[in-house]
């Protein structure tokens, strides 16, 4: 077994432990992944403010350095833990385990994980999450799904963000969605603007369905 295989195998064991820990408490975790600048933090801020009265949400913030994003999340009133990876380009399962211990999320709640901005390594590292959600902004290349197929193949949902900017850009939205489905035929796609709120209702319905499914599983 190569060193890379050993690292991934160890991470997978810890991810399964996280998955069991979360399931035992009826907590659903989603891993938000993207390139830098996609609007993940803005999306989180709006989500937390709009859904704060519906169910409890906690956040794990992953960055190589600074606590800037965690401070933005904390300003919404949401519990948050910042994890700085230093030279690392992704979160790993043991990092999430420490974050969960600090957060101690309540039963039947949600944990949103904002991974380090990177479309490569986070695709390989399972954290124990319910699903990966990849966020692609219209200010990026429409061929990102073809350039980074492992990430889009690993994701259950693609959020195409910043659609309010489409009139000012040469971005073929339908072609981008077609590329994503070429890589992953089962991927769900939602078009949103975290800035204006357009399309966010579909994202909120997805979150509600995730929480409802976990609560039902615990109850049974």
Domain ranges within the chain, ordered by starting residue: 3-136+199-214
> What tens digit of pLDDT does each residue of 77-97 get?
999 999 999 988 999 999 999
109/179 Cα distance (integer angstroms): 34
> Is the pLDDT confidence value at 5 over 90?
no
Q: Determine the topology of domain 3-136+199-214 in CATH.
A: Rossmann fold (3.40.50)
Q: How far apart are CA 103 and CA 108, in angstroms?
A: 14
89: Cα separation from own chain's centroid: 15
| Residue with the larger pLDDT of the pair 219 and 87 | 87
**Strand order through the sheet with 157-161:** 80-84, 57-63, 110-114, 28-34, 131-137, 157-161, 188-191
**How does pLDDT run across 134-173, given as a tens digit for each residue?**
999 999 999 999 999 999 999 999 999 999 999 999 999 9
Sign of CA dihedral 198, 203, 208, 209: positive
């Amino acid at each position: 077994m190569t060193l890379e295989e050993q690292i991934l195998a160890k991470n997978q064991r810890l991810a399964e432990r996280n998955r069991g820990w979360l399931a035992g408490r009826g907590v659903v975790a989603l891993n938000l992944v993207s390139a830098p600048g996609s609007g993940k933090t803005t999306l989180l801020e709006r989500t937390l403010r709009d859904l704060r009265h519906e169910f409890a949400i906690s956040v794990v913030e992953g960055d190589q350095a600074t606590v800037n994003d965690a401070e933005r999340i904390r300003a919404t009133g949401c519990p948050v833990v910042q994890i700085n990876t230093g030279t690392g380009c992704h979160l790993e399962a043991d990092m999430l385990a420490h974050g969960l211990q600090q957060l101690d999320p309540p039963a039947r709640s949600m944990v949103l994980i904002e991974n380090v901005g990177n479309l490569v390594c986070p695709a390989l590292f399972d954290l124990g999450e319910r699903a990966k959600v990849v966020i692609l902004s219209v200010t990026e290349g429409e061929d990102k799904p073809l350039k980074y197929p492992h990430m889009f193949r690993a994701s259950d949902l693609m959020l195409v963000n910043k659609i309010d900017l489409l009139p000012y850009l040469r971005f073929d939205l339908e072609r981008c969605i077609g590329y994503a489905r070429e890589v992953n035929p089962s991927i769900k796609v939602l078009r949103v603007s975290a800035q204006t709120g357009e399309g966010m209702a579909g994202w909120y319905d997805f979150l509600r369905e995730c929480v409802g499914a976990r609560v039902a599983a615990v109850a049974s």
